[in-house]
């Protein structure tokens, strides 16, 4: 039986957003994910915009009560705390440089947090917030939105079941070409992305490859990087020191090797999010451009293409199926899948149900930590001249 | 600027469903479409199931108040009419044979209606309901769900602009293989589909090809069928007289020809919804398996692939864009697009805004009429031995 | 072990061409097919061109001795008959209307014949020549060039082995767009194709669909057409009465149905040669644009893609493999495959080895007969108003 | 006008092979390439096999006179030199470790040479032979077989014409999976490939990536590598020190970067030969699995797919077209193209026509030198721990 939108938790969580306003790029993805079935989250408040007026206007337009559209997140946390029906969880969809302080304030206000990636600038910051979250008994989830794609769980299951043998080569790519041309008037979202004070120590490594890196960990939880080498460039000079293209080589502890190509100057590329895992018997390959398909290539056998929602897939892959086979679904569906898991995690945490939490696979704060660690190591290698560094 | 979920009408419409309960196949698509952004519809009531108990349990589980989960649609129409905040519009997601009476009762209760396809059994019934809707000043929309795909509007625009020249050949296909094998225990949804008393005069012609036929009209509004020939089969004998496979040949008034292949016994087919329009200069092709792509083939030039959400597309195609390019979206997005148009139509109708209605392209009752007419003509041809019949 | 070009017959056959000169479209395909490995045929003479001077110049340029480049085929047959080392077999690559007389003359001169399709204008002519060939103990082969593709033999083997169950739907297409635009100065090859006196009773039905029809018979030797209906058009008016587009519906004796779309006005189409066979359990699909791949879709299982030359293929499919897997091969390889079979057939015939002949699957005169029969029946249906006719 | 097999040189060259016998993997590709049209080469002699008896039997079977099937290449060079109609050019299709001595002996015997890649073990050897060839006035061609694909010339032309802007990223891959599984009984061809004494300093770097590296130079003649880093592995331990997988990072002199992935353990991969060139405006991509297609992606425009033989292609790309558009061709066609260029080069050299030679783009001894240089630099980097090395 399919999901069909029925509730998985007793009642929808009272939810607010910080950022993600009218002109924000990613805000809509949060809302479409969280509100997909109206049984996991309810959007009741927000500090949607750096411009309070525009934020209020926008909030009202998407159905939030005017008096719960706040000027800034501090006010929101304060006033909502005072309400009986105050918010329980917030999502942060603001530029990177603000995540840390907003996240900290939210936890201190007793809220669960769902935060954009890259989580913070340094792993130290992440570790600090992790302690704080544990102390407060709250969840911090990270919106690696693509990672909600069900076929990744199929890959995870097949690898776990030995269907490809021992992993030898990991081939990762997340590239597009939307920054290939030097823009005369970059959007706000583009401007802050190449400003280290707001973006942090990287551009595409953080913006793009953290998704793919997390997805690789999701599907191969036992694979640990031992050392890596990162070579990065700023093809549009004004972006330096932040990179618009990077290649990473990886050595895993089991002897496997890997590569990651991440880029926003891959001119004309509409199709550049790919994962290929090569094992000693077979390979698995997934491309974002056909998000409901998985290629399974056993050496010496016909190539197999597996299709989302088909009964032959692993139970874990079909667990959250909504539409059934034949019907292509895309990114909004992935977001709905991770938001549903955030809801289940928050509900379990609130109920003290550690058993559920232990078994739930979703991008939690450790996933956020790993993403920041990935960036830190890549940047350290790149800044030392694209040399091998231990993965610390 | 993208849609971003902001309201297009003053407030969400109060909406209820008839059918589409826990085990219903299509109900979820309605909800995910209608509720996508929470600014067009609000689900406030329902008579979701032929089994009232299960219907009530389900309704509560998807967030409807228990006292507005009704035992049957008649009770619902009656009780809701008595409420200040009663429903304004219903969607019908029940087996074909019940559409006519539910639709009629709803219009008589002063409700707008969104109804599943095939609308009714006969064009006479549709014409009758059309008069009733006009008399009552209400909208009847028809959920050709796939037709919300934005790339179809791109095709429409390009054809209108003469980008392919004069249309010569129309090549339509909607097939799958999920009924290729004789099932021992068919589901309820499968059982009624081959029972003429409930399904009406056809199986796959109505179940599948009405979508594709409407989509062809959407993209080529000026093309009229003059005569057609339909050859249908029941490869699983127990389905006779209803067909599980059919081929239709068409002659259009302008001299163009067309074909439709519709089937649910196309074994193994996961990818069988296609539209190709051949013009005197170029062709356009769309496949459901890559719903955000359009192939544009100008004779003598490189093949072009157009991608959803890119700025080079026609304004009409991008008007309702939510996620932006690079991000594949699928069927739920198409449903959201048509439901948004239903909301705009209902709002305009309520406000007496005929200008808006005149310019709005969406599957209205005439689209429903055309679908039933298509079936009638196909069946008449088939029953006369697969001969040419005038398209009446 | 692969073919590797080693001889399959004692010595190469002494071979000549009629037609296929410098400007001829298809002549090169014959040569590249026949001479692929230099162990089956040797090109020793020719009457290559309707213009003797150009024909002689061309012949010398491709390595034929000047004194064996003849002014016309009659002279060639006569003079070569007088030589000790005279030709044994000819290929006819001239416009359709000349095939019959050249073929007849060749057989009467004691030569084996390889002839272009469509073989002749009428089945009566084919039957007459078939008798003559039997009387003379000679082979008549027909160059359905695409039919040499090895993956078709894989389809044949899998169907024979019951891998798709009972055949239900046959979906055939051979279309391109190279005649979509009205040409100001059509080439000679284009001019005669729409002149019934030279082309015979059809244009694309004969030019294109006879290939695909033969290929369908090759892969499903037990499927017999009972009746068919053909609807044909001349979108470029000057081509009438000959068609540049046609759709055919077929009823097979076992209850299966089929369609053929053939066209040279499918604007922009580069990829229009396809065969899909739908069975009661699974389907097989082949497209000319990926000639070394076969899609095998079992209902309810992952889609399989089979690749040319892989060991998992049927022995019959790999029997004539030259390059090995990984290496795409195309049309010239198909021609080499059928020419090799012509050589084996001619050699066997000469040696009186009827056993070999009985087991050899290749396009013989019966295949030629079937092609002409196909055209005759299609045209009869079309001329009667696109009605069903018994397949006579 | 198409090529049509007419002679480009006065008469076919008298040609012999060393190696490429019955069980040799690559020998057939040479013959099918050289003899494609019978107007460039004639196979008149051979020392086909390390086993003289088998070599003679094989030679006779492919049509070589028995007395010109020699026991070894030295005898062949000697005896042929004594004949009036003796050989003029040889092809070497033996294991790597024998190329140098055979090549040297051939040049000293006054023969032109076409040699397999990787040419020799060291660049010093190549330089020595280059001097010898110059001294003797002979051509040395290298059979980078894939490089004859016409679409590569299209890429070259488009890059030259500025169609993609400045090159930024070069993404190269040549991988397959045929050595993923440890074989119990490796073939002879597989055994020598991992024996440094016969294979030289590398396995897949030389066996596979030299092709792709040359192809990259062919299409971007102005791009020079400044430094590179190579990381190689032997996943099947017995292959050490030779690698079955390697990743290379490159820095070009103009600031562009590149990657090469080469592997024979990419399990299940049937489709792993790819070239993508990313420029500042657009990208070009070619995959061996659709050898007649080229993807041209201009940032912000629809994706274009260019098809072999179409009139819109550059003249250089269509110059050697044989079959015309619509007809897929594959690897044997590429070999025919380079062999035709070898013939033209040898003919020009013999006639002292330096003008023709200067303008002819084909894999000459400098291409061979570059391949060996590529291997030398990769191996030096890898042996030093996968560090950056200057490209010397
Ligand atoms: N998960 C994904 O797929 C994905 C995709 C895009 C962006 N992102 C991440 O999302 C975050 C936001 O990126 P974006 O592209 O949407 O940025 P953006 O610049 O487009 O939007 C930022 C939004 O935050 C608002 N804002 C800024 N500061 C604020 C503050 N102090 N209080 C309240 N609102 C504030 C802005 O008004 C704007 O609405 C970044 O961390 C980015 O890395 C993630
Ligand atoms: N637009 C599309 O893409 C699409 C897809 C599938 C089905 N459909 C159409 O949707 C309709 C329903 O099909 P389905 O496959 O979901 O059928 P189904 O049998 O799976 O579900 C029907 C639902 O209606 C309920 N129901 C039946 N009679 C009722 C009544 N009198 N009052 C209240 N509820 C009642 C059932 O309990 C069930 O929940 C059909 O007309 C079908 O053609 C459309
Ligand atoms: N099997 C295939 O794939 C395929 C492809 C194309 C054409 N054909 C068939 O091949 C035949 C030739 O077609 P084409 O397109 O090459 O035609 P074409 O007009 O391009 O070439 C015909 C050639 O025959 C020569 N010729 C004509 N009459 C002659 C005569 N009496 N004696 C000697 N030479 C003569 C012409 O000079 C010319 O060289 C036709 O029957 C056509 O249907 C088959
Ligand atoms: N260009 C390509 O695409 C391509 C493809 C495969 C191999 N190659 C290259 O071709 C060469 C041969 O590789 P292969 O895979 O065919 O090897 P192989 O082992 O399959 O065949 C080698 C052949 O050479 C013969 N031989 C060996 N030593 C000889 C000698 N001294 N005299 C005469 N014959 C001798 C053997 O009997 C055998 O027939 C290698 O250099 C390899 O790198 C190139």
Interface predicted TM-score (ipTM): 0.97
Could you tell me if residue D327 is inside a domain?
A: no
Residue B385 burial (CB < 10 Å; 0-12/13-18/19+)?
exposed
Q: In what order do the strands lie in the sheet with A13-19?
A: A41-47, A13-19, A89-93, A112-115, A140-142
Count: domains in chain A:
2
Task: Write the DSSP symbol of residue B191.
Answer: H
Could you tell me if residue D332 is inside a domain?
A: no
Contact, A194 vs A203, CB < 8 A? yes
Do D109 and D68 fall within a single domain? Answer: yes
For the segment C95-101, the average pLDDT, to the nearest whole number, is: 98
Strands (E), chain B: 13-19, 41-47, 89-93, 112-115, 140-142, 167-175, 225-233, 245-252, 257-263, 272-279, 282-287, 293-298, 303-307, 388-390
Please give the mean pLDDT across all residues of chain D. Answer: 97
Q: For residues C133 and C113, give the distance between their C-alpha atoms in angstroms, rounded to a whole number.
A: 9
Share of chain B above pLDDT 70, in %: 99
Do D222 and D74 fall within a single domain? Answer: no
Which pLDDT score, from 0 to 100, does residue D326 have? Answer: 81
Could you tell me if residue C34 is inside a domain?
A: yes
For the segment C276-297, the average pLDDT, to the nearest whole number, is: 97
Do D81 and D213 fall within a single domain? Answer: no
Tell me whether residues A233 and D247 touch, CB distance under 8 A: no
Could you tell me if residue D54 is inside a domain?
A: yes
- pLDDT at residue C325 is higher than 90: no
Do B164 and B252 fall within a single domain? Answer: yes
Do C118 and C231 fall within a single domain? Answer: no
Q: For residues A280 and D263, give the distance between their C-alpha atoms in angstroms, rounded to a whole number.
A: 13
Which pLDDT score, from 0 to 100, does residue C4 have? Answer: 86
Q: Which of A203, A133, A175, A144 is nearest to A337 (CA)?
A: A144
Could you tell me if residue A113 is inside a domain?
A: yes
Q: Render the burial of A326-354: b for 16+ CB within 10 Å, e for the rest.
A: bbbbbbbbbbbbbbbbbbbbbbbbbeeee
- Please work out whether the CB of residue C298 comes within 6 Å of at least one atom of ligand 3: no
Chain C residue set in contact with A, beta carbons under 8 Å = 296, 300-307, 310-312
Residues on chain A touching D270 (C-beta within 8 angstroms): 297, 303
Residues on chain C touching D328 (C-beta within 8 angstroms): 288-291, 328, 330-331
- pLDDT at residue D1 is higher than 60: no
Which pLDDT score, from 0 to 100, does residue C320 have? Answer: 86
Residues on chain D touching C327 (C-beta within 8 angstroms): 330-331
More confident of the two residues C185 and D48 = D48
Is the sign of the CA dihedral B116, B117, B123, B127 positive or negative? positive
Strand B89-93 vs strand B13-19: parallel, antiparallel, or unpaired? Answer: parallel
Please write the tens of the pLDDT for every residue from D53-98.
999 999 999 999 999 999 999 999 999 999 999 999 999 999 999 9
Would you place residue D19 in the very low, low, confident or very high pLDDT band (cuts 50, 70, 90)? very high
Q: Which of A152, A125, A154 is nearest to A140 (CA)?
A: A125
Residues on chain A touching B290 (C-beta within 8 angstroms): 289-290, 328
Backbone angles phi, psi at C197, to 5 degrees: -65, -30
Could you tell me if residue A265 is inside a domain?
A: yes
Chain A residue nearest residue D245, CA to CA? A169
Tokens representing A293? Answer: 């398909």
Do A121 and A180 fall within a single domain? Answer: no
Spacing, Cα B115 to ligand 2 middle (Å): 10
Q: For residues A331 and A317, give the distance between their C-alpha atoms in angstroms, rounded to a whole number.
A: 16
- Give the number of the ligand closest to the Cα of residue C326: 4
Tens digits of pLDDT across chain A (392 residues): 567 899 999 999 999 999 999 999 999 999 999 999 999 999 999 999 999 999 999 999 999 999 999 999 999 999 999 999 999 999 999 999 999 999 999 999 999 999 999 999 999 999 999 999 999 999 999 999 999 999 999 999 999 999 999 999 999 999 999 999 988 888 889 999 999 999 999 999 999 999 999 999 999 999 999 999 999 999 999 999 999 999 999 999 999 999 999 999 999 999 899 999 999 999 999 999 999 999 999 999 999 999 999 999 999 999 989 988 889 999 999 999 999 999 999 999 999 999 999 999 999 999 999 999 999 999 999 999 999 999 99
Which pLDDT score, from 0 to 100, does residue A1 have? Answer: 53
For the segment B205-233, the average pLDDT, to the nearest whole number, is: 98
Tokens representing A253? Answer: 């502890």
Tokens representing B177? Answer: 């293989």
Tell me whether residues D306 and B304 touch, CB distance under 8 A: no
Residue C256 to chain B, least CA–CA distance (Å):
9
Tell me whether residues B333 and A330 touch, CB distance under 8 A: yes
Residue C47's DSSP bridge partners are C18
Could you tell me if residue A319 is inside a domain?
A: no
- pLDDT at residue C358 is higher than 60: yes
Is the sign of the CA dihedral D106, D110, D115, D119 positive or negative? positive
Closest-lying ligand 4 atom to the alpha carbon of residue D55: 37
- pLDDT at residue C184 is higher than 90: no
Nearest to A6 among B61, B270, B330 (CB): B61
Which pLDDT score, from 0 to 100, does residue C3 have? Answer: 78
- pLDDT at residue D101 is higher than 80: yes
Question: Distances in Å between the alpha carbon of D269 and those of C44, C182, C298, D272?
Answer: 44, 44, 22, 6
Angle at A151 (CA atoms; ends A150, A154), nearest 5 degrees: 105
CATH number at residue B127: 3.40.50.720
Do B221 and B120 fall within a single domain? Answer: no
Is the sign of the CA dihedral C198, C200, C202, C208 positive or negative? negative
Which pLDDT score, from 0 to 100, does residue B43 have? Answer: 98
Which pLDDT score, from 0 to 100, does residue A357 have? Answer: 97
Do B102 and B191 fall within a single domain? Answer: no
- pLDDT at residue C1 is higher than 60: no
Share of chain C above pLDDT 90, in %: 95
Chain D residue set in contact with A, beta carbons under 8 Å = 164-165, 168-169, 171, 177-178, 180-181, 229, 231, 233, 235, 245, 247, 249, 255, 257, 259, 261, 263, 265-270, 278-283, 296-301, 303, 385-388
Q: Which domain holds residue A116?
A: 13-146+341-364
Do A172 and A290 fall within a single domain? Answer: yes
CATH number at residue D200: 3.30.360.10
Do D127 and D180 fall within a single domain? Answer: no
- Please work out whether the CB of residue A187 comes within 6 Å of at least one atom of ligand 1: no
Q: Which subunits have 3 or more CB–CB pairs within 8 Å of chain C?
A: A, B, D
Nearest to D330 among C5, C29, C328 (CB): C328
Is residue D241 reached through a cis peptide bond, with omega within 30 degrees of 0 on the bond before it? yes
Would you place residue B1 in the very low, low, confident or very high pLDDT band (cuts 50, 70, 90)? low
Q: Which residues contact B292 (CB under 8 A, 6 or more apart)?
A: A330, B150, B151, B307, B308, B309, B328, B329
Measured distance between the N- and C-terminal CA atoms of chain C, rounded to whole angstroms: 44
- pLDDT at residue C118 is higher than 60: yes
Residue D244 to chain A, least CA–CA distance (Å):
11
Residue B150 to chain C, least CA–CA distance (Å):
23
Is residue C118 reached through a cis peptide bond, with omega within 30 degrees of 0 on the bond before it? yes
Q: For residues A258 and A64, give the distance between their C-alpha atoms in angstroms, rounded to a whole number.
A: 46
Contact, C272 vs C175, CB < 8 A? yes
- pLDDT at residue B79 is higher than 90: yes
Which pLDDT score, from 0 to 100, does residue C326 have? Answer: 81
Could you tell me if residue D7 is inside a domain?
A: no
Q: Give alpha helix (H) positions in chain A.
A: 27-34, 52-61, 73-81, 99-108, 123-136, 150-160, 188-193, 196-199, 204, 210-219, 315-318, 331-351, 354-359, 365-383
Would you place residue B185 in the very low, low, confident or very high pLDDT band (cuts 50, 70, 90)? confident
Which pLDDT score, from 0 to 100, does residue A324 have? Answer: 86
Do D44 and D113 fall within a single domain? Answer: yes
Identify the residues whose C-beta falls under 6 Å from ligand 4: D 18-21, 23-26, 47, 49-50, 72-73, 93-96, 98, 116-117, 143, 145, 188-189, 192, 207
Q: For residues B26 and B304, give the distance between their C-alpha atoms in angstroms, rounded to a whole number.
A: 34
Please give the mean pLDDT across all residues of chain B. Answer: 97
SS (H, E, C) chain C: CCCCCCCCCCCCEEEEEEECCCCCCCHHHHHHHHCCCCCCEEEEEEECCCCHHHHHHHHHHCCCCHHHECCCHHHHHHHHHCCCCCCCEEEEECCHHHHHHHHHHHHHCCCEEEECCCCCCCHHHHHHHHHHHHHHCCCEEECCHHHHCHHHHHHHHHHHCCCCCCEEEEEEEEECCCCCCCCCCCCHHHHHHCCHHHHCCCCHHHHHHHHHHHHHHHHCCCCCEEEEEEEEECCCHHHCCCCCEEEEEEEECCCCEEEEEEECCCCCCCCEEEEEEEECCEEEEEECCCCCEEEEEECCCCEEEEECCCCCCCHHHHCCCCCCCCCCCCHHHHHHHHHHHHHHHHHHHHHCCHHHHHHCCCCCHHHHHHHHHHHHHHHHHHHCCCCEEECC
Tell me whether residues B305 and D302 touch, CB distance under 8 A: yes
Residues on chain B touching D286 (C-beta within 8 angstroms): none
Contact, D277 vs D159, CB < 8 A? yes
Do C180 and C257 fall within a single domain? Answer: yes
Neighbours of A385 (CB within 10 A): 9
Q: What is the largest CA-CA distance in chain B?
A: 65
For the segment B253-279, the average pLDDT, to the nearest whole number, is: 97
Would you place residue B326 in the very low, low, confident or very high pLDDT band (cuts 50, 70, 90)? confident
Residues on chain A touching B23 (C-beta within 8 angstroms): 1
Tell me whether residues A302 and C311 touch, CB distance under 8 A: no
């Amino acid at each position: 039986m399919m999901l069909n939108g029925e509730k998985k938790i007793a009642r929808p969580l009272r939810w607010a957003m910080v950022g993600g306003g009218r002109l924000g790029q990613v805000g809509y993805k949060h809302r479409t994910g969280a509100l997909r079935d109206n049984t996991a989250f309810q959007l009741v408040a927000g500090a949607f915009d750096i411009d309070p007026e525009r934020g209020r206007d926008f909030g009202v337009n998407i159905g939030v009560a005017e008096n719960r559209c706040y000027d800034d997140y501090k006010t929101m946390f304060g006033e909502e705390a005072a309400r009986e029906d105050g918010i329980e969880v917030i999502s942060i969809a603001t530029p990177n440089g603000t995540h840390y302080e907003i996240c900290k304030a939210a936890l201190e206000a007793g809220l669960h947090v769902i935060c954009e990636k890259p989580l913070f600038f340094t792993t130290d910051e992440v570790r600090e917030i992790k302690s704080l979250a544990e102390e407060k008994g709250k969840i911090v989830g990270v919106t690696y939105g693509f990672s909600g794609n069900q076929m990744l769980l199929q890959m995870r299951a097949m690898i776990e079941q030995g269907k490809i043998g021992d992993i030898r080569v990991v081939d990762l790519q997340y590239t597009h070409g939307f920054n290939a041309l030097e823009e005369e008037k970059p959007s706000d979202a583009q401007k802050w992305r190449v400003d280290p004070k707001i973006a942090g120590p990287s551009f595409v490594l953080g913006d793009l490859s953290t998704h793919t890196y997390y997805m690789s960990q999701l599907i191969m939880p036992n694979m640990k990087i031992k050392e890596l080498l990162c070579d990065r460039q700023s093809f549009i000079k004004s972006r330096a020191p932040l990179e618009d293209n990077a290649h990473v080589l990886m050595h895993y502890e089991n002897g496997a090797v890997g590569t990651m190509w991440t880029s926003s100057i891959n001119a004309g590329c509409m199709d550049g999010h790919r994962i290929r895992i090569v094992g000693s018997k077979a390979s698995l390959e997934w491309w974002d451009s056909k998000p409901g398909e998985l290629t399974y290539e056993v050496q010496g056998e016909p190539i197999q293409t597996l299709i989302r929602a088909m009964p032959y897939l692993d139970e874990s892959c079909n667990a959250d199926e909504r539409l059934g086979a034949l019907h292509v679904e895309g990114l909004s569906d992935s977001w709905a899948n991770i938001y549903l898991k955030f809801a289940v995690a928050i509900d379990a945490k609130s109920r003290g149900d550690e058993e559920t939490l232990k078994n739930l696979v979703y991008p939690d704060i450790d996933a956020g930590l790993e993403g920041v660690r990935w960036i830190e190591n890549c940047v350290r290698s790149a800044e030392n001249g694209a040399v091998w560094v231990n993965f610390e």
